[in-house]
Amino acid sequence: DAGAGVLHIVKNYTGDVLNFQMAAELAADDGVRVEAVVVNDDVAVENSTWTAGRRGTGATVFVEKIVGAAAERGADLATAVALGREVNERSRSFGVALSACTVPAAGKPGFELAEDEIELGVGIHGEPGRARGQLVSAREIAGIALDAINDDMPLSGQVLVMVNGLGGTPLIELYVVYAAVAQWLSGHGVSIARSLVGNYITSLEMAGCSITVCQLTPQLTELWDAPVETPALRWGR
């Protein structure tokens, strides 16, 4: 805390939310003002073993980048909170896995998939999704994800798209998925203004990807384009 307060950006998992709430209470005892943005962009599962409500996934990257740019320009805490919530509200995600990951404490995969199966709607902690199906093409996978996103938040205008690898998928395959996403969006009259392809929020060695779409405004685009230099994102400097 540098005197202006602290903003917690929290993925909507019950343990995460509880821990950040306790941290905020401890900070308040020291006179530090804390606000929170809870990210809940996943359209695949409304409730799960780990959450009350939707899970927080890929939109976290968008919230952190855009709010960080505003804060660097001198935005106060209230403005940062409002901006983070706006980005969250304008973003949706859907994940697909071709294999499960093994959480070290569990010592075994979170679920079992045959070589010709995919898990639809997976989370980022190795939890299973909402349905299981036969392995299909990247074009069909993109269609499943974007249909779910579009049903929840009708897409239009200019968007920011992220195809995020879950940890065990080669970059070239992520670009194949991105091409399918671009084709779907173009066919539905939606323009990709900005994009990210790579491993940004991973699940250990899980093979698969998540697709995140944010409906942009001029302000959000400007803040996204602002110079950044972090281990994950770097441009404009």
188 catalytic, yes or no? no
Task: Give the amino acid at 196.
Answer: L
**114 forms bridges with which residues in the sheet?**
none
Going by DSSP bridges, is the β-strand pair 6-11/34-39 parallel, antiparallel, or unpaired? parallel
For the chain, the residue count is 237
Question: Other CB atoms closer than 10 Å to residue 201's CB: what's the count?
Answer: 22
CA separation for the pair 83, 70 (Å, rounded): 8
Tell the burial category of 71 from Cβ atoms under 10 Å away from its Cβ (0-12, 13-18, 19+): middle
Which residue in the list 13, 125, 144, 148 is annotated as catalytic? 125
| Positions marked catalytic | 125
